[in-house]
Amino acid sequence: MTTTDPTTAAVQARIVRTLATAQVIGGIGNGAGISVGALLVKDVSGSSGWAGTAVVMLTLGAAMFAVPLSSLADRAGRRPALTVGWISGAVGAAVAVLGAQTRLLPVVLLGLLLFGGSTAANLQSRFAAVDRAEPQHVGRTLSLVVWSTTIGAVAGPNLTGPGASVARSLGVPDLAGPLLFSSAGFALAALVTATALRPDPLVRSGDGPRAGRGVRAALPHLRGRTLVAVLTIATSHAVMVGVMALTPVHMQDHGSGLQIIGLTISLHIAGMYALSPVMGWASDRWGPERVVLTGQAILLAAVTVAGTSAESELRITIGLVLLGIGWSASVIAGAAMLSASVNPPERPLVQGFSDLAMNLAGAAGGLLAGGVVARSGFGTLNAAATVLVIPVVVMVLSAARADEPSPPSHANRP
């Protein structure tokens, strides 16, 4: 039976509380921005074909910041890296509001690109939570920080109404209103991180200066279970982003109002985060591979329901909730698998590479989704998403078989 030093446990608890608080506040900003991003781009551009670029820019921004933030964490610690990410999100949301006010699409897209820095901070917070965690509690600890995003992320999309009121009082377009909340939320998350994340999860007493390594240092470690984990996270994220990105446009084209769209996205985000502790516990208890396979099965159910929803708001909502739950199981178990398969000195850079791959996959999913829906419809998009689930199932099953012990040899039996 293992025991944990009380001082070490208290430090870990304080780190997790600080990260969780920042996630709650920052989650409000992320939820508010994501819910109106596609609609804002559609409004400014005047075309549904451009709507998918909102999520593309958000995910490209997260990808753009993933490796620099992980390198900064490797060199100076998690606190400065996460603070920079949250500040970038605050600036980006403000720039997107400026673009909406001036009706300049490039400015809106630039703002959404910088907004992605907050997503990078959000993602790296889950890894910061396990820097000092006990090995047997990696899944649980990681999932607690992911779960804390639920409160803000679910509340954020429901700020479309209040955001519109604030926007009118300031003389900016209604759809830009939630982004004002985003900017304020990210700024506050940066303040909490900079002042309260002490001690730094990644910097221990007696550590000397760290050189700070680039992404190439992560490449030799991308093999075996680590590679399977990275590909699982990236592919599952592509499925989720591709379908979620065009859901507001699909619903609006069928006559749904902003409040119903906001509620649907809120429930989707609840599916992503609310069951996180369950996914983390299950990953620690039964192994991440089984949880990943469960997540892939739920993703298949999600795209089947969403893709056949037509004008039914109930069916699309059920599909989006399942999409969030499937993403949660796959990404949390994948992150636990990744953290457990890499030695501590290499973790920040490998984790940063994983976030890079995850967000590039999401950007590709969002970019392709807009074109597919414009040409063939929302149902075709969901059908295409099923293709991405198959390789994950094959890889996880193959990795599990490779890890099974060989049967005993009977060559020397008399």
Q: Domain boundaries in the chain?
A: 8-198+217-403
Strand, coil or helix: what is 283? helix
The answer to whether 132 and 16 have CB atoms below 8 angstroms apart is no
pLDDT at 52: 67
CA-based nearest residue to 109, from 154, 148, 55: 55
Round to whole Å and give the CA distance between 388 and 303: 11
Distance from chain centroid for Cα 28 = 14
Q: Does a cis peptide bond (omega within 30 degrees of 0) precede residue 277?
A: no
pLDDT at 56: 78
Round to whole Å and give the CA distance between 160 and 179: 9
Which residues of the chain are modeled with pLDDT < 70? 1-6, 52, 153-154, 157, 205-215, 402-414
Distance from chain centroid for Cα 210 = 28
Straight-line distance from the first to the last Cα atom of the chain, in angstroms, rounded to the nearest whole number: 41
Q: String of b and e for 223-257 (b: at least 16 CB within 10 Å)?
A: eebbebbbbbbbbbbbbbbbbbbbbbbbbbeeebe
Q: What residue type is assigned to position 143 of the chain? A: S
pLDDT at 206: 52
The answer to whether 136 and 340 have CB atoms below 8 angstroms apart is no
CATH code of the region 8-198+217-403:
1.20.1250.20
Measured from the Cβ of residue 88, the count of other Cβ atoms closer than 10 Å reads: 25
Round to whole Å and give the CA distance between 119 and 30: 7
Round to whole Å and give the CA distance between 144 and 133: 12
pLDDT at 224: 85
